[in-house]
Amino acid sequence: MRHMLRDSIKRSLAGAIFGASTLAICGLNSASAAQPDEALSLQPPKPFQAQYRLELRGWPNATITHTLSNEGSHWLSSMNFSVAVARGEERSRFSVNENTTHSLLYNSSYSLFGIGDSYQLNERDLGNLDRQAALFDLSRRAGHEHCTESAPCDVNFVDHRGRDEHFKYYATEPSMINVPAGTFEAHRVTLIDVEKPDRHLQINFHPEWPGLILSAEYQKEGRRQTHLTMTQFNPAGSNAP
């Protein structure tokens, strides 16, 4: 029973933020996904810290803290969450070179009722981007590629165990959205599970802060399973309000 519950919360977390049904959203392989217009310059990374409220169907609400920080030659994206019976953390180190992103190291750990697992993927294990690096990369590309609902683009990524996953995605026109942290312009991306087309994840990204999620919603068979909204945003990654 504990094993089943543990797997359930992992799937929910991932599906919530970014992954093959893991909020995990996904690791995006720039080489196999649509490429942005070469004449365009994508937004450079900027450090920030944000907090999100995560609503999981059938589970207590959770708070996710998301930090993007510079470590000299590379960047670190980290997310951690906690609910009454579970905790989790994901960290990704990656390099950025103009319009490309390259995964260097990925770590994740989860515990449920005090029992947990941890995973690590080194650079040699990462044929595609890990999902934290992918979140950053996809947010930079949103709106710069010709990916439409009728002609979606491919997304290839690896989950927390390093297993390859395949999604389709498309973007819609920018719009303004309201979240607890304020009103922002958003670039919306919809990801569709190729093997399970009744499941999709919609993410609203901030166009000027790569990696920053304004809101996200994971649906299965037309029913919302997970909802994420940004509640706090500190542009420099500080603890100031």
Q: What residue spans of the chain are helical by DSSP H?
A: 2-17, 131-141
What is the Cα–Cα distance from 73 to 150, expressed in whole angstroms?
39
Predicted model pTM: 0.82
Which SS3 state, helix, strand or coil, does residue 124 take? helix
- Rounded to the nearest 10 degrees, the angle between the axes of helix 131-141 and helix 2-17 is 20
Residue with tokens 């934290």: 132
Average pLDDT score, the chain? 81
Closest CA to 205 of 187, 231, 218: 187
The hierarchical CATH code for the domain 2-234 is 2.50.20
d(CA 58, CA 80): 20
Give tens-digit pLDDT for 159-216: 888 888 888 899 988 999 999 999 999 999 999 888 888 888 999 999 999 999 999 9
> Residue ranges per domain, the chain?
2-234
Listed residue (22, 7, 3) closest to 225, CA to CA: 22
Across 100-125, average pLDDT: 90
Alpha carbon distance 28, 164 (integer Å)? 11
Q: What's the pLDDT tens digit per position in 157-167?
A: 888 888 888 88
Poorest-confidence range of 8-22, 74-88, 96-110, 136-150? 8-22
What are the residues facing 213 on neighbouring strands?
Answer: 205
